């Protein structure tokens, strides 16, 4: 049960929290590297799943510079980024919402609650997706990469004019770490997450399967 009145503002991650898009992103990381060794790409995708919320820029940089030990890999990184963007752009517009999340956001909006998005997705891409889906107006700001989760959470918190209490809905360790860094409560949205040990790290009492049966007070 979540006491809505306790909180002055709410932060939502996107993939796995608002949109059912984690599998879309994981598949896109594979498809964005068609000429790379399959075994290495499979290892890279596992790295991606274990590091949800980190931007695609950092992940492809890690693949070419750390996993493949390539120097001057900028052109290959850029090509992979372009491939990735082409694959996910339409998918983000057409994929399903996490069950119940739209109704939950609409209820908060009716209560005049302040809401923000802090995502690892490309910021400009995400804003356009939210505009096309007709949900951008619910949020004061939509933040994404290349800035990381902590940096973007800091932007939200620094705009608050008084000490206030926030709640972060996330599905990755980067979400959890950002919330804790800025003293926010955290709710783990688990059923569509790829964070394997999320339940071990987060408080089970602050875990929801989706927003479908979330109880408000």
Tens of pLDDT, residue by residue over 46-58, are 998 888 778 888 8
The Cβ of residue 76 has, within 10 Å, a number of other Cβ atoms equal to 18
28-55 burial, b at 16+ Cβ within 10 Å, e below that, comes to bbbebbeebeeeebeebbebbbebbbbb
The pLDDT score that the predictor gives to residue 35 is 92
Which of the four pLDDT bands, split at 50, 70 and 90, describes residue 96? Answer: very high
Q: pTM above the 0.75 mark?
A: yes
Q: Give percent of the chain above pLDDT 90.
A: 70
The pLDDT score that the predictor gives to residue 197 is 84
The pLDDT score that the predictor gives to residue 171 is 93
Which of the four pLDDT bands, split at 50, 70 and 90, describes residue 186? Answer: very high
The pLDDT score that the predictor gives to residue 32 is 95
Which of the four pLDDT bands, split at 50, 70 and 90, describes residue 17? Answer: very high
Which of the four pLDDT bands, split at 50, 70 and 90, describes residue 215? Answer: low
Which of the four pLDDT bands, split at 50, 70 and 90, describes residue 216? Answer: low
Could you give the CA distance from residue 149 to residue 75 in angstroms, rounded to a whole number? 26
Tens of pLDDT, residue by residue over 76-85, are 999 999 999 8
Tokens coding 110? 């009716």
The pLDDT score that the predictor gives to residue 177 is 94
DSSP class per residue in the chain: -B-GGG-SEEEE-SBTTTBS-HHHHHHHHHHT-TTS-HHHHHHHHHHHHHTTTS-HHHHHHIIIIIIS--SS-HHHHHHHHHHHHHHHHHHHHHSPBPTTHHHHHHHHHHTT-EEEEEEEEEHHHHHHHHHHHT-GGG-SEEEEETS-HHHHHHHHHHT-SS---EEEEESSHHHHHHHHHTT-EEEEE-TT---TTHHHHS-GGGEES-STT--B-
Which of the four pLDDT bands, split at 50, 70 and 90, describes residue 217? Answer: low
């Amino acid at each position: 049960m979540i006491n809505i009145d306790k909180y002055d503002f709410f932060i939502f991650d996107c993939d796995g929290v608002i949109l059912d898009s984690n599998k879309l992103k994981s598949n896109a990381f594979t498809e964005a590297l068609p000429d790379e060794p399959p075994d290495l790409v499979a290892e890279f995708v596992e790295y991606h799943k274990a590091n949800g919320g980190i931007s695609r820029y950092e992940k492809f940089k890690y693949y070419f510079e750390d996993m493949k030990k390539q120097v001057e890999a900028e052109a290959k990184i850029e090509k992979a980024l372009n491939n990735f963007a082409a694959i996910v752009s339409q998918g983000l517009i057409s994929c399903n919402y996490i069950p119940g999340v739209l109704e939950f956001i609409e209820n908060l909006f009716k209560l005049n609650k302040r809401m923000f998005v802090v995502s690892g997705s490309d910021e400009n891409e995400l804003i356009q997706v939210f505009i096309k889906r007709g949900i951008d107006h619910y949020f004061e700001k939509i933040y994404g990469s290349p800035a990381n989760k902590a940096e973007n959470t800091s932007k939200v918190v620094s705009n608050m004019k008084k000490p206030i209490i926030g709640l972060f809905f996330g599905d990755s360790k980067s979400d959890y770490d950002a919330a804790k860094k800025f003293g926010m409560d955290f709710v783990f949205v688990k059923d569509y997450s790829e964070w394997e040990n999320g339940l071990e790290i987060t408080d089970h009492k602050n875990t929801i399967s989706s927003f479908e049966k979330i109880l408000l007070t």
